[in-house]
Structure 1
Amino acid sequence: MSSGVLHIVDSRTKQKYEIPIRRNVISAIDLKSIKAPAAGTDRADHVADGLRVHDPGLQNTTVIESAISYSDPERGVLLFHGYTLSQLWDSDFEDMLHLLVWGTYPTMQQKKDLNRKLTDQMLAVPDSVHRTIRGLPRTTSPLPLILAGLSAYLACFPDTIPASTHASLYQGNLRNVDHAVIRTVAAYGVIFGLVNSHRKGIDFQPPSQENSYCANLFIMAGLLDRHSSRPDSTKLSCFRRFAMLNADHGMALTVFSALVTASSLTDPISCLISAVAAAYGPLHFGATVSAQRTLREIGSTDKVPEFIEGVKNRRTKLFGYGHRSYKGLDPRVRPIQSILKDLDLSKNDYLKITERIEEIASADDYFRHRGLYPNADFYGNFVFTAIGFDPDIIPAAMLTQRIIGIMAHWREYMLTRGKLFRPSHIYTERYSAFSTRQKRLIILTAAIASTFSPMSANIYYPALNSIAADLDVTSSQINLTITTYMICQGLAPTLTGSFADQAGRRPAYILCFLIYIISNIVLALQHSYPALLVLRAIQSSGSSGTVALASAVAADVITSAERGTYMSITSLGNILAPSLGPILGGVLSDTEPALQPQLPKRMIHPLSALSLLFHLPTGLILLSNGLIFASYYAITAGLPSQLRSIYGLSDLNIGLSFIPMGAGTLLSATFNGIIVDWNYRRMVAKDRQDIEDFEVEKARLGVGGPVTVRPYTPLSAFVNPPATNPPPLALTLTLIFTISFTLTATYNILNILLVDLHYTTPATIMATNNLVRCFLGAAATALVHPCIQRWGVRATYCGVAIVVLSVVPLPLPADIPILYFRYPETSWIYPGDVVLKSRTADLPIISARGLNPELTYLLLFFDLDVIYGMNATVALHWYQPDMLCILQDTGLLDMSNNKRISDEIDGYSNGGILVNKSLGAEYIAPRPPPFSHHRYVYLLFTQKGDYQFPQCYSHIFPQTATARAGFDIQQFVDVARLGAPVAGNYFIVEYDGPVIEPTATASPTTTWLRSILCEGSDPTGSAAAKACEMEGNLQIAM
């Protein structure tokens, strides 16, 4: 039995698989269905991409299906298109070439025609090829001479190179392929003759129409009898018979290397160059040269036993012995020995050494148990040396015969749409260039660098009351320095973030710290409120970029599966510094002399519009993070005054009261990252998804949502105003610890999610995040004292608690539901699926799953990858209004194809399917150009009851490419007042039609969309018609 089913149980997942067996072969693609969760594995192993096959040297792998030749290792049989070797023994080169390349044994007339075509092409080899070879040293190896000759020949015919003309020059083009085969065989014969005669120092003699191909080869190579000046008939016969053995041998290295090159659809000369280079390796045809060298080193038959012992002890190598395909005697050896009997080898002492090696090795258990026997190369080199070839040109001489098989396989490959050879490999180095220790050191350094911005922002919180008194300003005015600091803290990273993503992290760090250090020096020397206000803004501009840079550095060195843990470490500086700053500030405040009072001056900085808040889902996450941050700062900014007014604490004690807040942030950052990573791995393992396709928002918000709710309780408790019986200080500090712990956890999770969603530009997104949070934090610090003065502590912090609670639903984006559909010949199509063009000709069946059956819908179907002239554009393929959900068989017919739909209430259509009750712009099937693919999109909109088709788009109804090209989706949606789509899907359509020569098309340089006049004019008028007019008569592939 050669066919059946292979049953596999994957021990990693306990999943069972059935892999079909056809002709004792399983498809490697079928093994890709065996997948395992990628969480916790080395990403370089591609676990989620499916099981791979590791086969070094392709020892048990088939790469093509071929009808050219077959060798039976067990029975020692060679077949060529069904003919045995004995049946072909008396055939000529032309017979074998016709049989292997064109699949039939030639008639006498076909043989003559083939010989004439070969000779004509040999005579047509340009003189520049002759000059190229003759211009090189005669003493060099034949390999570079042959490669130079082939390259020179190819240079004379650039129109035969597909890259210089068009991709389909050969693929599927029978006429071009057949002509190229004859030209290549003829060219190699001439080049071989030129090389051999050049190295011998004799004149090159051209071929003749009166001779066979082999006879012309001998004449051109200078292998002539000294008396008759003609090829020796015996030697010619031996060469011809050896060609029968050597014409093809399956996927031998010469053929396989040529096919690898051919898989790129290149010309046969380039493929032959690959084969020549491979043939000269000592493990292929070059083994004949190595064997001659080995025999020369042995010297005599007496030394053979010693040599055999050296082979067994692996001190030396025996070339020409053993074969990967044959565990017994190579079936070509005995015919080669029969050929040798017809040649004069009386003066060749090496043959006796060779026969002695076989005699001893065949009786030795070492060789017999390993299935090592002579192969064709072991005796083959004696055939060529007896004919008159030098040992180092034997590989090239063998290629004059093997070229039959090379061209046969090249032709077969070009006419059967073979695949590009692109195997994978096992990556053995670490996935990350950094070790775990290096990662931690880098992240810790970035975290320390990020402490300067929040520490500088909060370092004088304990001294706010003292500074206000020293400078003779109010608490609201001194808070304005915090507001100014935070405004610049939000603005500056938008520049440094983009700069870091473009120029690199190091230059950005240097710039930030240069500004920060200079501002600190000047700030230490100032003694006025205006100077404090301005210098704090400059100080903020320098230090604030380090926060975004820390996240960028983390994203550079860690993977998404590690992001929770390492981003928590990155956030340590940003979230711990606000607590350490007041402690340090309290210490300095008690030891620093008072500032000299100065008249206050106020500087006004206008706020910019935060347009990013309106971009979903990033805007919602940024807003959530900003509100969390603002709540945190509303507490820290109001805390010093409350601690002094309620408990009468000094500046130092107020600073020490921030220790619980620091402890909360530290513990939160430590344990929160571990929990986030654990939840990430748990959800990946549960859904068995690849990291690249994983819905990371669910994994992050699964922890972040519950954590965000928890600050509500301690915040609600943290609202007691100064009273006769204030709560114990320990309780207040406990509440501060809890608030800090929960708010920090939420803030950190949202930071991780932002980097997840924008991992290619982490510095830029964190800079934007900084902008939002700092603006909102600035607003909180500016408003907290006025709010306390007007409404009291209880009302103010109840408002803060409500803000925190309102954040919970904000980051949960509502995804557009998938619009499930299928074509009559496909299964249900998921986003990103690839479908063949031939299967999309009919109208699709569209599921109503997840849709409201009470509503009416409108469908748009369009192609995103249309090329129109020099421009890229969008083409509408289907406009269908008035679509209804049908939940059961109501007898309603699909008016566009008149088929009953009751049999479609299954699978994804168990919620019904969509049918149309009127006609729209008719469906145009996808039609990507040859050898290409396009992206296609379905969008479904809710059709309002008062919907009217915009008449300015009446040009879309003809079922033509020119009518549908240039479709502006956004403009149509706006004019038709459709709103956002309620469902959508996209897929890729590949061309699988007949092989044709594509029309050359210039690469698109701009995007073109049709200009439509939809207001105040008749769409049929001259202005609109002129705007819609397309120039030229160009072909549009859509």
Structure 2
Amino acid sequence: MSEVYSLHSDDDIGSSSNVTDQIKKLHDDPTITKWRDYQKLHGTISRTTTNELGDDDTSSECSHDEQEQQHIVEGEQNYPHTLLTYRQKWFMVFLMTITGFWSSLGSPIYYPALKELEQKFNIDENKVNVTVVVYLLFQGVAPAISGGLADVYGRRPVILGGMLIFVVASIGIAKAPSYGVIVFLRCIQSIGISPTIAISSGVVSDFTVKRERGTFVGATSGLVLIGQGIGPLLGAVITAALHWRAVFWFLTIGCGSCMIIGFFLLPETKRTIVGNLSIKPKNIINRAPITYLPVVQKRFHYDNPDYDSLDLNKPTLDLSTAFRITALPEIFLSLLPGGLQFAMWTLMLSSISSELSVAPYNYSLTIIGVCYLPAGIGGLAGSMLTGRVIDLYYRRSLQKFQEDKESGKISEDTPFNNFKVRLACVLPQCFIAICSFILFGWSVDKGWKIPSVLITSFVCSYCTMSSLSVMTTLLVDLYPTKSSTASSCFNFVRCSLSTIFMGCFAKMKQSMTVGGTFSFLCGLLLCANLLTFIPLTKGIQLRERRAAKMEAKRQAKRDIEKESDL
């Protein structure tokens, strides 16, 4: 049975007059030769959706899932939201995994080699940590810029370009003669590859809708970030068997191979460019070689494209959008707990390497690598299971919301509360994370038996990846037309916090011990968890008030212009 979905709301596309103007442009566009024939057969587009609240150019999006479930065209012809089958959607998840995986792997695979770098270049722990910190810093900043590029120019060229930069930088580090060169090239590495995680969420949003988005976003996030869990194991094995430089040759070969696969198989999915994939991209950089095969062209019916599936709301390039979205109070407070968890998770991975190599454990590099496996498994389980849970909860909440409207319990103009539906699924994990991180910190601090370290690292990873899946899904729900930019907001928050904490970690351990450090950070997480109730209960009202203020300003401006004309 084919799935059918709706157009964007007035806030997504603009006023009715703007839509008419844009459709006229389609009529006059010589590249769209079949539009008139399509319109004669099926009529014009009927837009009968309601609006969610919005704020200026941070864009408001449809809030009701029913708006995504029907694509209404005059006549009785319906068009699918995407031409991808269920299996093909999972294949896209696979492609997103092998592209974004190297971003999450690039930092932790390096941890086991830090001691060797200290000896090689005669530097202390603080200096060697700089090579980790700069990677995390640009991992937070770069996606905020590249996400906007992907929303304007397409996902494919930005992903492949970033992977190419990563490959070249990895070769440079593998041949680096000095500590300064490594620091510089680690920055370039991160700038190139880190946007792929945020853009992966944008790709998923292009071919999914809210009722299934949690499953696919969760799977993509979990599989991509599994590199954080297994990276240290790979790094330990490679460093022990060969040399620290071999780690970067591994990254070069692995990412280069995946880049070649992506070059041939990864299609453009941005809906302003390809619609539901039935529209052939104009620019060659957006075309995958596989789409030239007759069987693929037939599958995507390039000979009879669904022009009505083309998103008319083409975003303009604004590199500050991600930062302005992050600054919104309901967004920042929603993302803060997940960001703190990710920062502590980064410290946890670093601590496993440093604490298990000394007394009372004194483990070898290979054994330490194996100890990272529970963290990797926990992270994968958190993403996969949470994705399905939040999808199930979303469908039930939406059904109850619609029933309450029909019974008159709530008014017809009441908006669907995305904040409540999404954040309610993550609150239990946020509070469980407090206990698990405290226990982990004191277990390695006091030298408890190794099962305590492994079990707590599993739970910490589960909670962290669960939170990441929910936060990313919430952002994509709120900003589907700017999904890559929106996803980069959480990337910015979590990586910025990781950079700050990682930069201070060595000194915090000296003054407060490992257990004290994690206890202090868990106190911050507790405060952040309590602040989450503000967007959960008041998020919709905050957006409504802001939208009303902006509309009042626009109206006042129009009144002034009318008076000046008179």
Query: What TM-score comes out, normalization by structure 1 length?
Result: 0.37
Indicate which of 499, 507, 515 corresponds to 1:794. 515
Are 2:368 and 1:684 aligned?
no
The equivalences for 1:601-640 within 5 A come to 613-640=326-353
Question: 1:860 & 1:466 partners in 2: Cα distance?
Answer: 58
C-alpha displacement at 1:41, in angstroms? 10
Structure 2 CA distance for partners of 1:862 and 1:681, relative to 1, 3 Å: closer
> Which secondary structure does the structure 2 equivalent of 1:873 belong to?
helix
Are 2:118 and 1:468 aligned?
yes
Structure 2 CA distance for partners of 1:861 and 1:515, relative to 1, 3 Å: closer
Structure 2 CA distance for partners of 1:496 and 1:714, relative to 1, 3 Å: same
The equivalences for 1:430-579 within 5 A come to 430-579=80-229
Question: 1:745 & 1:443 partners in 2: Cα distance?
Answer: 17
Indicate which of 514, 529, 542 corresponds to 1:808. 529
Are 2:235 and 1:585 aligned?
yes
> Which secondary structure does the structure 1 equivalent of 2:111 belong to?
coil
Are 2:477 and 1:756 aligned?
yes
Question: 1:635 & 1:863 partners in 2: Cα distance?
Answer: 49
Question: 2:489 & 2:130 partners in 1: Cα distance?
Answer: 22
Cα deviation per residue 1:22-43 (whole Å; 9 max; x = unaligned)?
xxxxxxxxxxxxxxxxxx9955
Structure 2 CA distance for partners of 1:610 and 1:498, relative to 1, 3 Å: closer
CA contact (8 A) 1:637 1:784 kept: no
Counterpart of 2:376 in structure 1 is 662
> Which secondary structure does the structure 2 equivalent of 1:477 belong to?
helix
Say which is worse superposed, 802-811 or 446-455, in terms of deviation: 802-811
Structure whose CA Rg is larger: 1
Which runs of no fewer than 5 residues in structure 2 stay unpaired?
8-42, 45-71, 246-321, 406-412
Matched AA of 1:706: P
Counterpart of 1:605 in structure 2 is none
C-alpha displacement at 1:860, in angstroms? 10
Are 2:294 and 1:644 aligned?
no
Question: 1:464 & 1:585 partners in 2: Cα distance?
Answer: 10
Counterpart of 1:700 in structure 2 is 422
> Which secondary structure does the structure 2 equivalent of 1:809 belong to?
helix
Structure 2 CA distance for partners of 1:481 and 1:818, relative to 1, 3 Å: closer
> Which secondary structure does the structure 1 equivalent of 2:219 belong to?
helix
Counterpart of 1:766 in structure 2 is 487
Cα deviation per residue 1:490-533 (whole Å; 9 max; x = unaligned)?
22212211111111111111210121111111111113211111
Matched AA of 1:688: Q
> Which secondary structure does the structure 1 equivalent of 2:211 belong to?
helix
Counterpart of 1:873 in structure 2 is 557
Relative contact order: is structure 1 or structure 2 higher (C-alpha 8 Å, sep ≥ 6)?
2
C-alpha displacement at 1:750, in angstroms? 1.0
The equivalences for 1:100-499 within 5 A come to 424-499=74-149
CA contact (8 A) 1:547 1:574 kept: yes
Are 2:435 and 1:713 aligned?
yes
> Which secondary structure does the structure 2 equivalent of 1:676 belong to?
helix
CA contact (8 A) 1:613 1:623 kept: no
Structure 2 CA distance for partners of 1:793 and 1:42, relative to 1, 3 Å: same
CA contact (8 A) 1:512 1:542 kept: yes
Question: 1:706 & 1:560 partners in 2: Cα distance?
Answer: 22
C-alpha displacement at 1:546, in angstroms? 0.7
CA contact (8 A) 1:613 1:620 kept: no
Cα deviation per residue 1:220-264 (whole Å; 9 max; x = unaligned)?
xxxxxxxxxxxxxxxxxxxxxxxxxxxxxxxxxxxxxxxx99xxx
C-alpha displacement at 1:620, in angstroms? 2.0
C-alpha displacement at 1:652, in angstroms? 1.4
Question: 2:431 & 2:541 partners in 1: Cα distance?
Answer: 31
> Which secondary structure does the structure 2 equivalent of 1:432 belong to?
coil
Fraction of identical pairs, as percent: 26
> Which secondary structure does the structure 2 equivalent of 1:807 belong to?
helix
Structure 2 CA distance for partners of 1:770 and 1:862, relative to 1, 3 Å: closer
Say which is worse superposed, 730-739 or 680-689, in terms of deviation: 680-689
C-alpha displacement at 1:679, in angstroms? 0.5
Question: 1:782 & 1:692 partners in 2: Cα distance?
Answer: 46
Matched AA of 2:85: S
Question: 1:759 & 1:462 partners in 2: Cα distance?
Answer: 39
Structure 2 CA distance for partners of 1:754 and 1:45, relative to 1, 3 Å: closer
Question: 2:111 & 2:549 partners in 1: Cα distance?
Answer: 58
Cα deviation per residue 1:262-311 (whole Å; 9 max; x = unaligned)?
xxxxxxxxxxxxxxxxxxxxxxxxxxxxxxxxxxxxxxxxxxxxxxxxxx
CA contact (8 A) 1:716 1:798 kept: yes
Matched AA of 1:696: N
Indicate which of 713, 732, 737 corresponds to 2:458. 737
Cα deviation per residue 1:741-798 (whole Å; 9 max; x = unaligned)?
1121112111111111111101112223222221211112111221111111221111
CA contact (8 A) 1:551 1:567 kept: yes
Point out the structure with the larger helix share.
2
> Which secondary structure does the structure 2 equivalent of 1:526 belong to?
coil
Matched AA of 1:651: L
C-alpha displacement at 1:720, in angstroms? 2.5
C-alpha displacement at 1:873, in angstroms? 2.8
C-alpha displacement at 1:579, in angstroms? 1.0
Q: Give the count of matched residue pairs.
A: 414
CA contact (8 A) 1:589 1:652 kept: no
Question: 1:435 & 1:555 partners in 2: Cα distance?
Answer: 15
Matched AA of 1:453: S
> Which secondary structure does the structure 1 equivalent of 2:557 belong to?
strand
Matched AA of 2:241: T
Question: 1:526 & 1:807 partners in 2: Cα distance?
Answer: 41
CA contact (8 A) 1:631 1:804 kept: no
Question: 2:78 & 2:540 partners in 1: Cα distance?
Answer: 41
CA contact (8 A) 1:512 1:546 kept: yes
The equivalences for 1:900-939 within 5 A come to none
Matched AA of 1:815: K
Question: 1:720 & 1:490 partners in 2: Cα distance?
Answer: 29
Matched AA of 1:590: A
Matched AA of 2:348: I
Structure 2 CA distance for partners of 1:676 and 1:720, relative to 1, 3 Å: same
Question: 2:402 & 2:2 partners in 1: Cα distance?
Answer: 13
Instruction: Give the aligned CA root-mean-square deviation in angstroms.
Output: 3.3
Question: 2:208 & 2:189 partners in 1: Cα distance?
Answer: 30
Question: 1:673 & 1:588 partners in 2: Cα distance?
Answer: 33
Structure 2 CA distance for partners of 1:738 and 1:861, relative to 1, 3 Å: closer
C-alpha displacement at 1:431, in angstroms? 3.7
Matched AA of 1:642: E
Query: What TM-score comes out, normalization by structure 2 length?
Result: 0.67
Matched AA of 2:442: N
Matched AA of 2:428: P
